[in-house]
Structure 1
């Protein structure tokens, strides 16, 4: 994947976080997390308007930002929050994208507020067993040894 260019439009739309080791999703008080991307321009740069949605206490909440590509392949990004969150940023990478079965493995770097880790995202809320096996195989191939947990729906 490292050398393949990703078309930003391939990332557009809703992605369900299905596996993660990100503490925000593992505590159990935030459920149904999704990444919602829309190709957009900010300060003359084409990137992704980014809305992270989740449910907390029965209400839908969201975190908004912008993902600026850091390379011409569109595999590495810097997220910066909107509004008050504009002080926060984080870097993340698409390690693998399956455009046929619509799932991806993302790595995010450590920040002041979060540890480094991985998310597996999918267009489907609950992918079938075959896709889950392919995800496990790809994680092994990429030498991702961290234990990712299924996300509470």
Structure 2
């Protein structure tokens, strides 16, 4: 059953009560882990230098760091600036396996105008966890995050 993303957006909007990127990204990760079923990791990777993602706030097991744009699902999302919805991460030749329990992944680029601030990465132990509806709903949540946050590092 698809979550009620309109309700989740209203709840997230109430949590994002500051413009601070660190507070808002930490709140967003914690909130998504609580509200979305079957996640084992939710976090941000930040672009602090060209071509490289650095670990930001997250919920879950320790993560891989850094991630170059030419590696893995997060790198592909950053490089192409398009959402990556992967049903089976083990079928991706350059997948970076930070947690062997992860089977599906959804990575959404976080853009402020033309500037790539980073990516939101969601992992699940369930294959095919993320539907088209989940992708659209979480992309709306990322847009809300961007509208409520000063994206300066």
TM-score where L is the length of structure 1: 0.31
TM-score where L is the length of structure 2: 0.31
Higher helix share: 2
